[in-house]
């Protein structure tokens, strides 16, 4: 008899946990008992952001050092705002803001460069037909 409520309780917590990664990611001040889960959210948001920025920069088109610098500032800035002001996590738990900023940065940068180069080449460059 006593197992029923226990089971229900257990199912309840499992369900809450299953629901959560997405919902928690877009809800302010969420709880993150599993550090890796939050780092994954940071990682994947950074990848998506990198590709979106690459597409925008390519369509616009932004060029040169300005494009690269703006990417660094916006990518680091948005994610910094996300984890410090939106989610309000204790940065020290993750080894400081630098560790969180490093998470997935290089991969995101590579993804950004690829999309930027491809879209820019496709939309704004006409090769001369000398070859």
When binding is defined by CB under 8 A, the residue of 33, 65, 85, 92 that contacts other proteins is 65
When binding is defined by CB under 8 A, the residue of 82, 83, 89, 111 that contacts other proteins is 111
Give yes or no for residue 62 binding other proteins (CB under 8 A). yes
Q: Positive or negative, the Cα torsion across 86, 92, 98, 101?
A: negative
Residue number, 4 or 92, with CB nearest to other proteins: 92
Tell me whether residue 68 is exposed, middle or buried, using C-beta atoms within 10 angstroms of its C-beta: 0 to 12, 13 to 18, 19 or more.
middle
Give yes or no for residue 118 binding other proteins (CB under 8 A). yes
Shortest approach of other proteins to residue 86 CB, angstroms? 22
DSSP per-residue codes, 37-73: HHHHHHHHHHHHHHHHHHHHHHHTT--HHHHHHHHHH
Residue number, 61 or 86, with CB nearest to other proteins: 61
Give yes or no for residue 83 binding other proteins (CB under 8 A). no
Stretch that binds other proteins, among 3-11, 21-29, 42-50, 76-84 (CB under 8 A): 42-50
Give yes or no for residue 38 binding other proteins (CB under 8 A). no
Give yes or no for residue 78 binding other proteins (CB under 8 A). no
With residues binned 3-state (H G I as helix, E B as strand, rest as coil), the percentages for the chain, rounded to 5, are 80, 0, 20
d(CA 39, CA 44): 9
């Amino acid at each position: 008899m006593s197992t029923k409520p226990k089971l229900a309780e257990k199912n309840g917590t499992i369900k809450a946990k299953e629901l959560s990664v997405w919902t928690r990611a877009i809800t302010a001040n969420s709880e993150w008992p599993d550090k890796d889960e939050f780092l994954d959210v940071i990682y994947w948001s950074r990848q998506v952001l990198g590709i979106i920025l690459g597409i925008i920069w390519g369509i616009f088109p932004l060029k040169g050092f300005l494009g690269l610098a703006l990417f660094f500032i916006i990518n680091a800035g948005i994610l910094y705002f996300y984890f410090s002001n939106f989610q309000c996590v204790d940065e020290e738990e993750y080894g400081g803001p630098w560790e969180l900023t490093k998470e997935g940065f290089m991969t995101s940068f590579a993804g950004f460069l690829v999309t930027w180069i491809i879209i820019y080449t496709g939309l704004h460059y006409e090769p001369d037909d000398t070859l």
